Amino acid sequence: MPTTTATTTVLYCRDPLNERRADAHFAGGGPAAARRRRHGPARRPRCAARRGPRAGGGAGAEGTGAVWYRGWMLPVGRYAELDAALHRRGAELAVTPEAYRRAHELPGWYGTFAGLTPVSGWLPAAPGEVPDPQRLAALAAGLPPGSAVVKDYVKSRKHEWAEACYVPDLADPAALHRVAARFVELQDEFLAGGVVLRAFETFVAPQGAAAEVRVWWRDGVPGLVTAHPDSAVAEVPEPVRAAVEALGCPFVTTDLALRADGVWRVVEVGDGQVSDLHREVDLTAFVQLLTTDQALLCTPSASGTTPA
C-alpha cells in the first residue's frame, strides 16, 4: 500500500543582490538543509530586509498548505499581507497573523508571562510620535521605583544605551522624556506599536555560561536550547512551559537571563520564524524544529530542565 509523506514548505527572503538565491543571513541553514531532509520545497519570496515580502510574495507556493516563513522581522501588518497573498494562492502561513502578533509584540505576550519578566508598561504611538512628559510620567508610575529601559513593542536600541535606551531614574521626568524622544527619533519609520518602559533588572552570567539563553518552542514543547545570538555558550534555563503553553503560539522563542538573585527571568519572547540563530547552532537541529513531529524531537528530563 503506498504511503504518503508529509511535506514542509518554508518561505525564505530572496537576497536583494541576487534574486536566484536566499538571503545570505538565512541561507546557511535554510533551503539546502531543508531539501537534504526531503521535507518539501524551500521557496524564496521577494522581500526587503526591513520591509518584508511584497503583497504578491510567495509565488510558486500554490497548493502547498501550511507554509513556514523564515526571514527578517516583519511588521504585523506586512505579515498579514503575506498571509493574505498566500491564501489567494491556495496556501497559508503555519503561524497565523494573530499568533504572530501575540508572540512578536510585547503587549501580546506580556500578560501571559507576568511574574516571569520585568514589570512593563506601554503607550501606543505612531512613528515619529513622542508621548508627552505627563503621559510618560504616568506610565513610569506603574513601574517599581528605580531605573528602566525604553523600547518599542519589538526592539530596543541597546547599542545606543545611554542616549536612547537606559533611564537611570524614573523619578526624573526630564531624563525619561529625553531618552524616549531620542529612541523614537532613531527608530524613525520602524517604530513598532509604541513606546514601552521595562523595569531594569541586573542580570549575571553564570560561570562558563552565556549571559542569555534562547529556548525554541514548537507547539509548547522546548525543542532547542541555544545561546542568544550575542552570546558564546549556552546554558540550560529553568522551563517556562506553562506560560508558553498558555500563549498558544506554534513556534516561539524565549530569551532568558539569570538575575543577580539567582532567578531565571524572561527577557524577551518572539516568533520563532523571525528569531535569529546563534552562529554555532547545529542547523540540522533547527530544521528539525520545522520538519519533525515534536513528540519525537524533544523529551524534557525528569528534573524539568531541557537538554541542550
Does residue 216 surpass a pLDDT of 50? yes
Q: What is the pLDDT of residue 3?
A: 38
- Give tens-digit pLDDT for 45-95: 444 333 344 434 444 455 566 899 999 999 999 999 999 999 999 999 999
Q: What is the pLDDT of residue 35?
A: 47
Q: Is 24 or 101 the better-scoring residue by pLDDT?
A: 101
Does residue 127 surpass a pLDDT of 60? yes
Nearest-angstrom CA–CA distance, 52 and 37: 27
- Give tens-digit pLDDT for 222-261: 888 887 666 655 555 566 889 999 999 999 999 999 899 9
Among 7-16, 60-69, 134-143, 296-305, name the most confident range.
134-143
Backbone angles phi, psi at 271, to 5 degrees: -80, 130
Other beta carbons less than 10 A from residue 184's beta carbon: 22
Three-state DSSP class for 281?
coil
- Give tens-digit pLDDT for 9-39: 888 888 888 777 777 777 655 554 444 443 3
- The number of helix segments (H) and strand segments (E) in the chain equals 11, 17
- Give tens-digit pLDDT for 158-188: 999 999 999 999 999 999 999 999 999 999 9
Does residue 298 surpass a pLDDT of 70? no
Residues 13/43, Cβ–Cβ less than 8 Å: no
* Torsion sign over Cα 39, 44, 47, 50: positive
* Stretch 190-218: mean pLDDT: 88
Region of poorest pLDDT, from 129-143, 181-195, 211-225, 227-241? 227-241
Q: What is the pLDDT of residue 224?
A: 87
- pTM for the model: 0.82
Q: Is 283 or 192 the better-scoring residue by pLDDT?
A: 192
C-alpha distances (whole Å) from 102 to each of 48, 68, 92 are 23, 17, 18
Nearest-angstrom CA–CA distance, 175 and 171: 9
Q: What is the pLDDT of residue 153?
A: 98
Topology, domain 204-297? D-amino Acid Aminotransferase; Chain A, domain 1 (3.30.470)
Extents of the domains making up the chain: 9-94, 129-200, 204-297
Using CA atoms in the order 255, 30, 57, 273, what is the torsion angle rounded to 10 degrees? -10
Q: What is the pLDDT of residue 157?
A: 97
Closest listed residue to residue 109, CA positions, set 270, 242, 258 = 270
Q: What is the pLDDT of residue 6?
A: 56
Nearest-angstrom CA–CA distance, 164 and 193: 17
Q: What is the pLDDT of residue 22?
A: 79
Read off the pLDDT band of 285 (50, 70, 90): confident
Residues 173/133, Cβ–Cβ less than 8 Å: yes
Closest listed residue to residue 92, CA positions, set 72, 71, 51, 62 = 62
Residues 4/38, Cβ–Cβ less than 8 Å: no
Angle at which helix 173-187 crosses helix 133-140, to 10 degrees, equals 110
High-pLDDT (> 70) share of the chain, %:
74
Q: What is the pLDDT of residue 226?
A: 80
* Torsion sign over Cα 305, 306, 307, 308: negative
Three-state DSSP class for 217?
strand
Q: What does the angle CA 9 – CA 10 – CA 15 come to, to the nearest 5 degrees?
A: 140
Region of poorest pLDDT, from 72-81, 154-163, 216-225, 297-306? 297-306
Q: What is the pLDDT of residue 231?
A: 61
